[in-house]
Structure 1
Amino acid sequence: MNYSTIKKTAVAASLVAALGFAETAQAQTPTVFGGRGQYRTWSIGVQGGITTPNTILGGQNGFGQKVGYFQNKVGEYYGLTIRKQFSHLFGLELEGNRGRIKTYNHEMVTTPETANGARSAETAVNWAASLNGVFQLGTIDFMRRENAVNFYAKVGMGVMAHNPVQYSTTDFSGTPVYNNEGNWGEEVFGDRTDVGDRDNRLTGFIPVGVGVKFKLSEVVALNLGYTMNFTDDNLLYGPVRYDGKQKFSNLYGGLEFTLGSRDKENLTFTNPVATLYDELKDPSLRNEVEALKQRVSTLEGTVDQLSKDSDGDGVSDKFDKCPGTPAGTVVDGSGCPIKFPEQQLTDGTVSSGYYAPIQFEFDSSVLKTESYATLDKLAQELKANNSNVTLDGYASAEGTEAYNMNLSNDRANAVKQYLVNAGVSASSITATGYGEANPVASNATEEGRIQNRRVEIKK
């Protein structure tokens, strides 16, 4: 394993350990991706406003024959809400209201609108209850961590109990000409008879609305909204000449109170991308990241010191017992030169020099640059001792024997030419190619073939 691999492995191990520690800390005190449990999700609200006997979609009702005509009578409407927020986008709301809806014939002030001679009517909504799905819009904000304003839309289904009263005048001050309270189920309207005695008429309706929510504090929010209510009743105002499903709308304002611990964030105003800013906003998380960076930096410095090799002999300075070894010297695991048996030179002197075979690439007789130091040292010794040298070239077993013979001869002559260029007399060098002969390793493996592509130096 080389030192580059050691360095990468050590850094990776440190990162894994540090991240594991951080995950353990987060598991003990969850601050990110903790699910709904880390938020406040329940709220209650009070609201009040006005009703009108029409909607912004236009159309007509029992006391307005002109399409889209605005009948400028309003009634009071107030109630309570209970809501459970399931995500930043969706919640379920139980809503209860009561109040009055007023209407009158604006155009036909001289002609009764009903067979009862009524020109105006009001419906007392004794109670109305609905279950609504609330869809929050625009909760994602890339510029701020927390939202203060949310828009929403809602739709639901409900039931209300009401009693219509009709008057002969348009100011609701006259004597009622129709009031069936307590007698529902005893009158026949067209081809339908309401069965059963009860104080109120029960009617199904579908509320569809929009609104805006303002965050006043961590507990209180201000709601402003508009809801259209489409009923399943053509007797919302009592029997009239226009026999169609009636509708009304209500405009309201109210306060909403979030329940639960103030230590938890309100899911209604949660910004889903806020977790992207945690490293910048959460001091403890930022400190952990900075501490991790320092640990990694320290570890990298230690690894660099362990891998430093000043003399380039392949043994790091920390473990090198023989620093300053000349380039090209064959060393052992402690960085010290390997001692070889002494050799008798032709002039009678003794040399302890040993020269490893010169290696070549596959199908090549080009010298590798890493061989230059060895050959320079050999040239100096040959010139100093005026000695002779024999160069035996070899090839691995790929190719034909004739081709490998020529290749081995080219390799031997490549070494000879380098020595001649270095000042060694050509007559003192014998270069011979032996092809595939005398392999030093098996030609069945690439490792063995690499060793066989060589020139041996003999003195």
Structure 2
Amino acid sequence: MKSNLKKASLLLTGIMVGGKLLAQTPDTTASKNYVKPFSDGSAFRTWSIGVNGGVLTPYTVFGIKKQDFQSPHNQIGYGGYIKDQILPSFGLQADFLAGKVAGAVTPADQVNGTYTSFNTKINYSVDLAANFTLANINWRHEQGYIQPYLTVGGGYIAYTPTLTTASGPTNEGKQHDFFIPVGAGLKFNVANGVNIDLGYQVNFVNADNFDGSVQGATNDRFGYGHIGLEFALGSSKKPQLATHNPVASMRTEYLMDEQRLQIQVNQQQAANQQLRSDLNATNANLAKFTVDSDGDGVPDVYDKCPNTPAGTPVDGSGCPLKKPEVKVYVTQQDKEVVNQAVRNLEFDFGKATIREHSDESLNKLAQLLVAKGFNLKLAGYTDNVGSVAANLKLSKARAEAVKTYLAQQGADASKIQAEGYGKANPIATNATDAGRQINRRVEFSIY
């Protein structure tokens, strides 16, 4: 036991010393941490690797009373991972863990009166875990230095348990099972792209023979408390996404814009002073040529139709323009847009809910109605399930649903007529689900 604690102390001391050496030249310059707001992932270092070491024990935060061996013996464990930070607060990491887990029974609770202790060698364990960074935004400082995190995942563990009885140890052979690691911890930023990782993890093994003994119906579990180092991969000129504080970049961007704007304002003020004096002289001469009482864009001196109503298009003499008659023709391409909308339109059974995959073709139809000002008649139909009255009501509701959707996309609702005809005029058999789905439709006519 003392030997194991001594090894653990040496391991933790080595990692802490390494972290301190790396921390002697921390990069806190604004140029290293600044990233233009709303930049994509290429502006950051998203990949990182980590190594760690610590203590493995059958005791966890959930207690040890239901474990087969209730006297834990702490052992050394070690591991590592590679992580891809997909979002500022979410990443995926592949973990590796190895070491030993050991324990014994209390004198009053010896397993079957036979086994006295166990020692399980973790040959290896690999898992894929989701990593959630809980606090990488700091409103008080340019760079936050502590990021709490949570992890949860699933993987594969290979182990060899050894049971000890009064007659000596017995190797139980190599085993392997699925396990779920759940953990939490803190990361401390000690240098540019280097973090100290303090964490604790509970590993739930999908078996009861991790300790070599199968007792009751409770699966085995073990804990791993560790300290380690994380190194961001990539160019040191880019900040690590998981530790980046976007608030600081937004503030820097604001200050840079403010300085640029102030320079522009000073230059513009000088130019404005000169322009103002020139304009004052020019305006005095041109005042009589710029008065436009009715606001139609034609000065009064040239306006042959004064007092034109506001917003009325006028010609060069200020008189209202005659609005040309515009004829709109329905082309084959327009008909294809309508046919496509009819083919793709589907409703849920017994409802006036338009299915999502119908949206794209309805959007194109709405654009056509807006562009060419067509009138549209909607005729709603149902399948033969239900009463005549219910189907008439439902078909009307479906036609109205299409009208509402098109109007929401900008079409003129006054040019859309919606009618319901119930289960009349089926275009497919009502004997199958597919046929009934086709009959739940709204037909379109443009003119």
TM-score interval for Structure 1 and Structure 2 normalised by the shorter chain: 0.5 to 0.7
Which of these residues, 163, 169, 190, is aligned with residue 216 of structure 1?
190
Q: Deviations over 1:70-122 (max 9, x none)?
A: x34111110111111112101111110100111111242xx64147x111111
**Structure 1 position 272, deviation (Å):** 2.5
Equivalent residue letter for 1:162: Y
Distance in 1 separating the partners of 2:213 and 2:64? 18
Question: Equivalent residue for 2:381?
Answer: none
Question: Equivalent residue for 1:179?
Answer: 171
Question: Equivalent residue for 2:104?
Answer: 104
Distance in 1 separating the partners of 2:193 and 2:35? 22
Does the 8 A contact of 1:121 with 1:167 survive in 2? yes
Equivalent residue of 2:149, what SS?
A: strand
**Structure 1 position 208, deviation (Å):** 0.6
Equivalent residue of 2:251, what SS?
A: helix
Equivalent residue of 1:143, what SS?
A: coil
| 2:316 pairs with 1:316 | no
Question: Equivalent residue for 1:201?
Answer: 175
In structure 2, relative to structure 1, the CA distance for the partners of 1:88 and 1:30 (3 Å cut) is: closer
Equivalent residue of 2:128, what SS?
A: strand
In structure 2, relative to structure 1, the CA distance for the partners of 1:308 and 1:228 (3 Å cut) is: same
Number of aligned pairs? Answer: 266
Question: Equivalent residue for 1:454?
Answer: none
Equivalent residue letter for 1:163: T
Question: Equivalent residue for 1:57?
Answer: 62
Which of these residues, 110, 113, 122, is aligned with residue 111 of structure 2?
113
Distance in 1 separating the partners of 2:80 and 2:309? 84
Question: Equivalent residue for 2:238?
Answer: 264
Equivalent residue of 1:251, what SS?
A: strand
Superposition TM-score, scaled by structure 2 size: 0.54
- Ranges in structure 1 where 5+ consecutive residues have no aligned partner: 1-28, 182-199, 310-314, 321-330, 335-358, 360-440, 448-459
Distance in 1 separating the partners of 2:259 and 2:306? 59
| 2:53 pairs with 1:35 | no
Equivalent residue of 1:216, what SS?
A: strand
Does the 8 A contact of 2:135 with 2:147 survive in 1? yes
**Structure 1 position 301, deviation (Å):** 2.8
Equivalent residue of 2:270, what SS?
A: helix
In structure 2, relative to structure 1, the CA distance for the partners of 1:243 and 1:276 (3 Å cut) is: same
| 2:161 pairs with 1:164 | yes
Alpha carbon RMSD of aligned pairs, Å? 3.1
In structure 2, relative to structure 1, the CA distance for the partners of 1:138 and 1:442 (3 Å cut) is: closer
Equivalent residue letter for 1:203: D
Equivalent residue letter for 2:269: S
Does the 8 A contact of 2:37 with 2:250 survive in 1? no
Distance in 2 separating the partners of 1:157 and 1:446? 74
Distance in 1 separating the partners of 2:106 and 2:261? 72
Question: Equivalent residue for 2:87?
Answer: 87
Equivalent residue of 2:87, what SS?
A: coil
Distance in 2 separating the partners of 1:37 and 1:216? 23
Question: Equivalent residue for 2:229?
Answer: 255
**Structure 1 position 444, deviation (Å):** 8.7
**Structure 1 position 59, deviation (Å):** 5.3
Question: Equivalent residue for 1:136?
Answer: 133
- Ranges in structure 2 where 5+ consecutive residues have no aligned partner: 1-33, 294-303, 311-447
Superposition TM-score, scaled by structure 1 size: 0.53
Distance in 1 separating the partners of 2:143 and 2:247? 10
Does the 8 A contact of 1:129 with 1:158 survive in 2? yes
Question: Equivalent residue for 1:77?
Answer: 77
**Structure 1 position 332, deviation (Å):** 5.9
Q: Deviations over 1:250-286 (max 9, x none)?
A: 100001111111111111211122232124665xx55
**Structure 1 position 306, deviation (Å):** 3.6
Equivalent residue letter for 2:168: T
**Structure 1 position 45, deviation (Å):** 1.0
Instruction: From the CA coordinates, give the structure whose radius of gyration is larger.
Output: 1
In structure 2, relative to structure 1, the CA distance for the partners of 1:332 and 1:243 (3 Å cut) is: closer
Question: Equivalent residue for 1:241?
Answer: 215
**Structure 1 position 38, deviation (Å):** 0.7
Equivalent residue of 1:288, what SS?
A: helix
Equivalent residue letter for 1:168: T
**Structure 1 position 288, deviation (Å):** 2.7
Distance in 2 separating the partners of 1:80 and 1:446? 78
Does the 8 A contact of 2:68 with 2:213 survive in 1? no
Does the 8 A contact of 1:51 with 1:100 survive in 2? yes
Equivalent residue of 2:266, what SS?
A: helix
**Structure 1 position 147, deviation (Å):** 1.5
Equivalent residue letter for 1:294: N
In structure 2, relative to structure 1, the CA distance for the partners of 1:49 and 1:443 (3 Å cut) is: closer
**Structure 1 position 445, deviation (Å):** 5.3
Distance in 1 separating the partners of 2:305 and 2:59? 99
Distance in 2 separating the partners of 1:126 and 1:202? 10
In structure 2, relative to structure 1, the CA distance for the partners of 1:119 and 1:292 (3 Å cut) is: same
Which of these residues, 286, 294, 299, is aligned with residue 266 of structure 2?
294
Which has the larger share of helix? 2
